[in-house]
Structure 1
């Protein structure tokens, strides 16, 4: 029984560790973000690509991998899949477009966040915490009055 309680407390410690919670939050936000990107691709990018390519909608493009029965309706991807296997290359192209847009948006977000962090660091210059001893040139605390290496008396300037 002691082993079970030990394992339970270890599991609780693991789950409540900061990086596990951060990962869970990241996954949830990522799923919501993916829905936004999917909508962007489906509702905005794909129609624009369709206009450029003369009305082509990639999501419905497929190749039959079987011989369709005489008179069977294979005009849509769903109807063709109901009759047998199909090579749905249009869905694959749409997935690639989704991935590229997602990667671009994440890249731009990370770039913007990094530039904000860079500006914050430039705005607040770091205060020196150490100075070099003028006699032995070893680093000592900025508030030190005596060098711990050569024991020289230091002027606090």
Structure 2
């Protein structure tokens, strides 16, 4: 900043620096979380990739969802999701059954093996989150959750 800059210029520069620092923190946290989640996934010996693990998580949270629901949630195309669901089905982690109201539509749910794997993965993710939030009190955790949801909404997700 030039010498003798006025208070408005100094305040603007401080705001820009604060925004840049916040973006850097977000970037670093995303990469750190993804790397540690990937490492935990590799260590469990399941052989699942990150997208397969996310799909299992979604189906666990939304039993009876469809491939189209998974397409919309993941932002992936129909062909990618169809292959992914087929792979999970072949591995015995997901089962598909026809929707009684629309026989063309298949509803997804986890098999017992898929549920067991999902429980182990959820536990690893919780351990990672606990490390990241170790010194946060309940109010801070609640505020962070609210703020992250607002950021996601504002970003269009």
Bigger RCO (CA 8 Å, 6+ sep): 2
TM-score (structure 1 length as normaliser): 0.32
The structure having more radius of gyration, on CA atoms, is 1
Q: Which has the higher helix share?
A: 2
TM-score (structure 2 length as normaliser): 0.32
